[in-house]
Amino acid sequence: MKLLQLIIFVILIFLFPILIKGQDAKQIVQKADLKRRGDTGKATMTITIKRPTWKREMKLKSWSHGTDYSLILVTSPARDKGTVFLKRDKEIWNWIPSIERNIKLPPSMMMQSWMGSDFTNDDLIKESSIVEDYEHSLVGDSVILGRPVYKIQLIPKPNAPVVWGKIYSWIDKNDFMELKTELYDEDGYLVNKVIYSDIKELGGRLLPAKMEYIPVDKDGHKTIIEYESVAYNIPITTDFFSLQNMKRVK
């Protein structure tokens, strides 16, 4: 009996750091996710789509309530002004002012380009949870923008509704800001890189105000998001995220 207890004790000694490591990795990702998201939020931003021979700029407003509700309004350029994207739980809707119609996006459109950018509809209006749909593990340390960071590997759980086969995330050790992300396909090939910079106070939180989304196999392609203002934990109910409100939101 004592021998069995000793064996169990020795096994636990070796497993304990692994268990703690896994737990810490998920907590780090969760802290970074909550810091960026908040319970509710409102933001204004500029998106710049860059190509080898041209670039295009859009201005947006966005509102969110948890992970199940979000609404994005395009405010410029004039040809796209008034276009709205709405997520309610598992449904994605698009209001197109030129034809005055709400269109429900089918699952088959989730991987299509959003407004001609390098984002897909799934990237912009996330259905998957970076916290709950992945297994997290600490795999290294590094320094980005002069800040010490954790390198965390995310592997999707079986049957999780995710696009990526693997993700690496670099998160600031002190302020829990995501500073770099690499997105891999199911075959282990790097598809997209995300670089964060221009750290400043947004909505009372220290966050990167600039995000560059770079497809690695397309030279000269890049989509840049620059946040101009962010407000967290604003008084907004789920009733705001309605099909009717898509037509009148400003």
Q: pLDDT tens across 131-145, in order? A: 888 999 999 999 999
Q: Summarize the confidence of residues 208-222 as an average pLDDT.
A: 96
How sure is the predictor about 4, in pLDDT bands with cuts at 50, 70 and 90? very low
| % of the chain at pLDDT higher than 90 | 65
The pLDDT value recorded for residue 125 is 58
CB 179 within 8 Å of CB 208: yes
Indicate the average pLDDT of the chain.
Answer: 86
Instruction: Find the mean pLDDT for residues 28-53.
Output: 92
Q: How confident is the model at residue 9 (pLDDT cuts 50, 70, 90)?
A: very low
Place of tokens 């509704």: 161
Q: Hunting for tokens 């064996």 — which residue is that?
A: 7
In sequence order, the 6+-apart residues with CB closer than 8 A to the CB of 53 are none
User: Which of 135, 179, 170 minimizes the C-alpha distance to 154?
Assistant: 135
Identify the three-state secondary structure at position 196.
strand
Worst-scoring range by mean pLDDT, 35-49, 101-115, 164-178? 101-115
Determine the average pLDDT of the residues in 163-182. Answer: 95
Mean pLDDT confidence for 12-36: 67
Mean pLDDT of the 98-121 span: 83
Domains in the chain: boundaries: 33-246
Reported in sequence order, the residue ranges of the chain that DSSP labels E, i.e. its strands, are: 40-50, 55-65, 69-76, 84-88, 91-96, 101-104, 134-144, 147-156, 166-172, 178-184, 190-202, 205-215, 222-232
d(CA 120, CA 183): 13
Token pair for residue 148?
A: 């010490």
What fold characterizes domain 33-246?
outer membrane lipoprotein receptor (LolB), chain A (2.50.20)
Q: Buried b / exposed e across 64-89, counting CB within 10 Å, b at 16+? A: bbebebbbbbbbeeeebebbbbbbbe
Q: Is the pLDDT of residue 111 over 80?
A: no
Residue 185, classed as helix, strand or coil, is coil
The letter for the amino acid at 206 is L
pLDDT at position 177 is 95
Q: Tell which wins on pLDDT, 169 or 3.
A: 169
Q: Which is more confidently placed, 110 or 83? A: 83
* pTM of the predicted model as reported, rounded to 2 decimal places: 0.84
pLDDT of 34: 85
